[in-house]
């Protein structure tokens, strides 16, 4: 097999493209710019950690099924862990959003990073909704009978039937977690590729500034 033939392979081209954009030292860096010096920067990783706890506790609930927690004090405790990790997830994610807005973190070609973050936020709200719809208690009865009116008004209710527990549960434990994890991974990979956004330069003269140009 010749070198030219290997170079033409899809595998080779993909590997080189990926390794070029995200070499190991960018994927797992051992330094960071010295302007990263604020507690505001911890809320991204805190959100990731919360997502980890949400998924882990969700998996335990999935092992025993959707009714388990009503009749088992251990199951109810796992449900409590799942609920509070979701509260912490939204707590840290919104503070992360506030911080990134304050930094205008989309600058320097990071528009897609911002956008994947917003879509992940919206997907998280949808995931939380299907979770509340799957509780199999009074709260889920009320939430679904009310939410149906809003969702029906968009036309989506004909296909996304919030009163159908089976459908809501499968969206909650299969489709939306996959979407949330994929979107989160894309978001984090983009941060690793582009790096953390540099500070605004307050006293820079525009004509002399060497830039990382935004999109």
Partner 1 sequence: MAAILSFAAIFPLNTLGHYIHWHWIYISVANLTVIILMVLTFVGALFLPFPGRRRRKENR
Partner 2 sequence: MTKNAFRPDVDAPEWKGGHTPYDIIKEGTIALLVIALLTLILAIVFGSPDETAITIKSWSNAAPIDFATTALSELNGTSTSAAYGAPYNHNGSSQQIGPLQLEKWVGVRIPINAAQAFVIQPLKALPNEPTLDADLSQYTSASSATQTAWLNAYAKAANNMKFVKGQVVVNTTTAGPVPVMINDLTTMARSGALDQDLLNSSGFYTTDYTKPLLFLADGQYLGNLATEQHLGGDQWGMMNETGNYPGQAWLWLYTFWYQVPPFNSSASGDALVWGVMMVLSILLLLVPVIPGLRSVPRKLRIYRLIWREHYRDSGTS
- The answer to whether residue 98 forms part of the interface with partner 1 (CB under 8 A) is yes
- The answer to whether residue 38 forms part of the interface with partner 1 (CB under 8 A) is yes
Contact of 168 with 133, CB cutoff 8 Å:
yes
Contact of 149 with 161, CB cutoff 8 Å:
no
- The answer to whether residue 37 forms part of the interface with partner 1 (CB under 8 A) is yes
Q: Please, what is the minimum distance in Å from the beta carbon of residue 2 to partner 2? A: 40
**Two tokens, residue 73:** 């004090």
Stretch that binds partner 1, among 30-38, 120-128, 140-148, 158-166 (CB under 8 A): 30-38
Largest CA distance in the chain: 69
Distance CA 159, CA 169 (A): 15
Would you say 80 or 141 has its CB closer to partner 1? Answer: 80
Residue 188 interacts with which of partner 2, partner 1, none, CB < 5 to 8 Å by class = none
Residue 108 interacts with which of partner 1, partner 2, none, CB < 5 to 8 Å by class = partner 2
List of long-range contacts for 208-212, beta carbons under 8 Å, 24+ apart: 211/108, 212/108, 212/109
Contact of 193 with 21, CB cutoff 8 Å:
yes
- The answer to whether residue 77 forms part of the interface with partner 1 (CB under 8 A) is yes
User: Under the rule (CB under 8 A), what is the footprint of partner 1?
Assistant: 34, 37-40, 42-43, 73-74, 76-77, 80, 87, 91, 94-95, 98-99
């Amino acid at each position: 097999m010749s070198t030219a033939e290997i170079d033409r392979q899809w595998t080779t081209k993909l590997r080189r493209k990926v390794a070029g954009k995200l070499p190991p030292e960018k994927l797992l860096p051992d330094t960071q710019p010295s302007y990263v010096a604020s507690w505001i920067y911890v809320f991204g990783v805190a959100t990731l950690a919360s997502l980890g706890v949400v998924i882990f506790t969700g998996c335990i609930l999935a092992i025993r099924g959707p009714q388990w927690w009503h009749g088992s004090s251990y199951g109810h405790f796992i449900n409590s862990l799942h609920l509070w990790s979701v509260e912490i997830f939204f707590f840290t994610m919104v503070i992360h959003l506030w911080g990134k807005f304050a930094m205008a973190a989309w600058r320097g070609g990071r528009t897609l990073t911002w956008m994947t973050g917003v879509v992940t936020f919206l997907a998280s709200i949808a995931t939380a909704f299907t979770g509340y719809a799957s509780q199999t208690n009074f709260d889920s009865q009320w939430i679904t009978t009310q939410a149906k009116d809003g969702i029906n008004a968009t036309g989506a209710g004909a296909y996304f039937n919030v009163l159908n527990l089976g459908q809501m549960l499968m969206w909650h434990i299969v489709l939306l977690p996959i979407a949330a994890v994929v979107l989160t991974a894309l978001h984090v990979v983009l941060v690793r590729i582009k790096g953390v956004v540099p500070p605004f330069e307050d006293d820079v003269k525009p004509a002399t500034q060497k830039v990382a140009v935004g999109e």
